[in-house]
Amino acid sequence: MSFCCGASMIGTKGTLTHYRTQVHNVPLLYCPVCQRIEVHYKVESEYEILAEYAHGDGESEIDFQDYVLEDDAEIFSNCVSVDSDNKMEAVRNQIDLSLDLLAVAKQMEDKRWQIELKRRLAVMSQKLEKLQSGNGRGA
Ligand SMILES: [Zn+2]
């Protein structure tokens, strides 16, 4: 659990603004005492990448949930890690699927879909990297 001012922070979801881009449904931690809000540490790097991409594409709003297929229960649970091998496998499958779709989107010359898929790929490769680096110890 995260603490702030000695109080435990509350998990919630909300909209954050990155420059002019609004990102909806971002998992957040909220301190009931000083009302500080921060991006949930488990999705911090994914949020940064997604916000950067969306901002770079001149997007005015996006939905975090469309890109990061993270289980809410897992994000907000206290236990550290479950099965990182299975998680890595799942992320790899999602990357494969997105690459297939990207080929389809190119064939259809659907620019908007291509942009969305590229964003999703960026978020998922970041996630895979994180899983891989966290897996090095102990094995
Ligand atoms: Zn606080």
Per-residue b/e over 98-122, b at no fewer than 16 CB within 10 Å?
beebbeebeeeeeeeebbbbebbbb
Question: What's the pTM?
Answer: 0.73
Distance 76 CA to ligand 1 centre (A): 18
Distance 8 CA to ligand 1 centre (A): 8
**Around ion ligand 1, which residues have CB less than 5 A away?**
4-5, 31, 33-34, 36
Q: Which two tokens stand for residue 12?
A: 């919630």
Q: pLDDT: is 110 or 80 the higher one?
A: 110
What's the confidence (pLDDT) of residue 82?
A: 58
Distance 41 CA to ligand 1 centre (A): 16
Write the pLDDT tens digit of every residue in 50-61. Answer: 999 999 999 999
> Given a cut of 90, is residue 49 above it in pLDDT?
yes
Distance 135 CA to ligand 1 centre (A): 32
What's the confidence (pLDDT) of residue 83?
A: 67
Q: pLDDT: is 120 or 134 the higher one?
A: 120
Tell me the average pLDDT across 8-33.
91
Write the pLDDT tens digit of every residue in 60-97. Answer: 999 998 888 777 777 776 545 556 678 888 889 889 99
Distance 93 CA to ligand 1 centre (A): 39
Distance 12 CA to ligand 1 centre (A): 15
What's the confidence (pLDDT) of residue 138?
A: 42
Task: Outline where the chain has alpha helix (H).
Answer: 44-56, 64-67, 72-75, 84-107, 111-134
What's the confidence (pLDDT) of residue 1?
A: 61
Mean pLDDT rounded to a whole number for the chain = 85
Q: Which two tokens stand for residue 27?
A: 């998992």
